[in-house]
Structure formats: structure tokens, C-alpha cells
């Protein structure tokens, strides 16, 4: 049995976000060097933002405060969608990786 110290670690959406983060880091590691401070940085930051806001929201006791952080996580997932589409349009992401990323993003959106 796995021990969870914080409540967000028990959330199934958190597991999906972790998979999304790993995928983003793997995908962006093959991007050209000139994108290091462009799409690589943006995609990594936005995917981390999704998880960070879910984690922070899970600690809030007030429903309004909790909803605020979940809304930020949702907004970050929409920004991720825009960036992964641009990456696909620029042929930096394969069709297969794009489809996997979109599938994980949808899981995150609908569980959030």
C-alpha cells in the first residue's frame, strides 16, 4: 500500500497530471535548441502549473478559494492545449505524441 502524506497525492487527476508532465518533458527533450526558451519552456511551465494549482487548491478549506485554484489549473490546461497545437502545426510533435497529450489533457480537464 502506497502512503500519501498530502491529500492531493490521492487524487486520480493528480496521477494524470504526473503522466502529462512526464510526457511533456519527454516530448520537449527532442525539440530543437532554438525552442529551449520558447515552446519547451512554455509547455513545461504550463504543465507544471496545472499540477501545482490542483495541489494548492486541494489544501484550501473554503469552496470559493478551492474553486479559484482549480479554475487556474483549468486555464493552464487550455493554455497547454494551445501550445501543443502550435507544436504540432510546426511539426515539433508527432501525431501520436499529440494524440496522447490531448488524451491526457482531456482526463485532467474532466476530472478537475
pLDDT (tens digit, 9 = 90+) per residue, 34-86?
Answer: 999 999 999 999 999 999 999 999 999 999 999 999 999 999 999 999 999 99
Domain covering 33-111 in this structure, CATH number: 1.20.1440.60
Q: Is 88 exposed, middle or buried (0-12, 13-18, 19+ CB in 10 A)?
A: middle
pLDDT tens by residue, 15-39: 889 999 999 999 999 999 999 999 9
Dist. CA 14–CA 55, nearest whole Å: 8
Q: Is 1 exposed, middle or buried (0-12, 13-18, 19+ CB in 10 A)?
A: exposed
Structural domain spans, the chain? 33-111
Amino acid at each position: 500500500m502506497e502512503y500519501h502524506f498530502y491529500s492531493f497525492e490521492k487524487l486520480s487527476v493528480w496521477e494524470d497530471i504526473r503522466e502529462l508532465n512526464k510526457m511533456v518533458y519527454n516530448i520537449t527533450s527532442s525539440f530543437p535548441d532554438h525552442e529551449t526558451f520558447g515552446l519547451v519552456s512554455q509547455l513545461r511551465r504550463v504543465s507544471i502549473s496545472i499540477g501545482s494549482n490542483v495541489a494548492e487548491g486541494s489544501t484550501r478549506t473554503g469552496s470559493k478559494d478551492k474553486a479559484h485554484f482549480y479554475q487556474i489549473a483549468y486555464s493552464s490546461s487550455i493554455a497547454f492545449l494551445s501550445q501543443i497545437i502550435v507544436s504540432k502545426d510546426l511539426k515539433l510533435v508527432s501525431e501520436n505524441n499529440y494524440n496522447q497529450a490531448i488524451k491526457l489533457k482531456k482526463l485532467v480537464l474532466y476530472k478537475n
